[in-house]
A and B are shown apart, each in its own frame.
Chain A
Amino acid sequence: MQTKRILLADDSLTALTMHRMILGGAGYELLIAQDGQEAFDVATAQQPDLILMDVVMPKKTGFEAVRLLRKQDSTKSIPVIMITTRAEPKILEICFQCGCNDYINKPVDGAVLLAKVRSILGN
């Protein structure tokens, strides 16, 4: 079976290190981006199976990056899980309007992260 590839987009090295340990340990291949523009570029070039996207990032926010990805045929159906600091309904509404498939609130619980990734990618 082919290893699933996940793009981790976050400007926080601490968050990236943690997500890399959890998802890398679960057998996923990981791609890294540290701002919204890089996330868009890497997703376009590498076509990952899933994107884990932080909202607040330099150059382009996670929301902007997802909106752009949804406009391209090659990336419009890549599932995106948004990592949000605020869990208010308005923020979550924007998440889904942008085309995100799911969201995780900060602080990210490793077990919840794995469960959501598995529910999208399968075990």
Chain B
Amino acid sequence: MDTLRIESAESRLRRCEEQMELWRTEQDRRDEIELGLKSTVAHLHAENQRVAERQAAAEQRVGHLAQLHAAIQQLHEAEDHAGVLTVIKEIVANLVGSECMAIYTVRANGELEMLDGIGIDDSTDAASAIISVPFRMGGRVVGMIAIFRLLPQKAGLDGGDHELFALLSTHAPLALHHAGLRAAYANFA
């Protein structure tokens, strides 16, 4: 025969309090886990941001290096004098961002002679350039690039442009010199 047990109010209260205590402990444990997860997520966000910034900086640098590589490769691959001048114009137009520039050589008497250019005429005065890039060979200035105006969307010259100018200063006269040698050799042969 089943026995009917009647739980006293006090006993039920105690049981409820015990259950509450268990829930509180469980809640505390969950709060701790949540705090830990939040901290991990914040850490991952920060790490993600750092990686994204580093990637952006690396891609910016790769862009500059690609510019320098393209410039030097094309300068030295040009087959003749006219080809080298075309490459110099392309570099200034496409990589620096100017469609108003001239390339000069220094004559024996020290005067400048215009070899080629974009967006200029014979009356263009080299002295009105916003920047001049000298061509140096053997410690002498043998010519220069004069840039008179930048494209409207180009706010100004930056570090990447100055790296290009440094490269042009050395490699453009070398490429012109080699083109001259090749032409002389071809005539001789």
Identify which of B64, B73, B96 contacts A110 (C-beta below 8 A): B64
Give the size category of A's interface with B: 20 to 34
Interface size on B, residues (CB 8 A): 28
CB of A13 to closest CB in B, whole Å: 5
Identify which of B63, B73, B74, B95 contacts A111 (C-beta below 8 A): B63
Residues of B within 8 A of A15 (CB): 70, 90, 94-95
In the complex, number of A-B residue pairs with CB atoms less than 8 Å apart:
78
Nearest residue, chain B, Cβ from A16: B70
B95 touches A87 (CB 8 A): no
B94 touches A14 (CB 8 A): yes
Mostly, the B contact residues are: helix
Nearest residue, chain A, Cβ from B78: A13
Residues of A within 8 A of B167 (CB): none
A61-94 interface (Cβ within 8 A of B): 85-88
Identify which of A21, A86, A106 contacts B66 (C-beta below 8 A): A21
Identify which of A18, A85, A114 contacts B151 (C-beta below 8 A): A85
B64 touches A12 (CB 8 A): no
A110 touches B95 (CB 8 A): no
Residues of A within 8 A of B (CB): 12-15, 17-18, 21-22, 25, 85-88, 105-111, 113-114
Could you list 5 examples of A-B contacts with CB < 8 Å? A14-B90, A85-B93, A85-B99, A107-B154, A110-B59
